[in-house]
Amino acid sequence: MGKDHPDADVYPEATGLALDTVKAHLAESDLKLYSGWFCPFVQRTWISLEEKKLPYQYIEVNPYHKPESLLKLNPRGLVPTLEYHNKPLYESSVLCQFLEDAYPDREPHLLPADPYDRARTRIWADFVTSRIIPSFHRFLQHQGTDGLAEKQTEFLGYIKEFTKEMDEQGPYFLGAEFSLIDIIIAPWAVRLWVFDHFKGGLGIPEKGKGGDDESTWERWRTWLEAIEGRDSVKKTSSDRERFLPIYQKYAEDRAQSELAKATRAGRGVP
DSSP code for 7: T
Domain 115-265 has CATH 1.10.10.10: no
- Any idea where the domains of the chain sit in the sequence? 16-102, 115-265
Topology of domain 16-102 in CATH is Glutaredoxin (3.40.30)
48 Cβ partners below 8 Å, 6+ apart?
Answer: 95, 96, 99, 100, 110, 180, 183
Please identify which of the residues 10, 18, 33, 39 carries the catalytic annotation: 39
**pTM to 2 decimal places:** 0.95
- Whole-angstrom Cα distance, residue 4 to residue 197? 28
Catalytic residue at 39? yes
Q: Which residues contact 136 (CB under 8 A, 6 or more apart)?
A: 155, 188
pLDDT, tens only, 158-209: 999 999 999 999 999 999 999 999 999 999 999 999 999 999 999 999 999 8
Tell me the pLDDT tens digit for each residue of 101-143: 999 999 999 999 999 999 999 999 999 999 999 999 999 999 9
CB 71 within 8 A of CB 63: no
Exposure string (b/e) for 182-192, b if CB count within 10 Å is 16 or more?
bbbbbbbbbbe
Residue in 199, 270, 169, 189 with CA at minimum distance from that of residue 230: 189
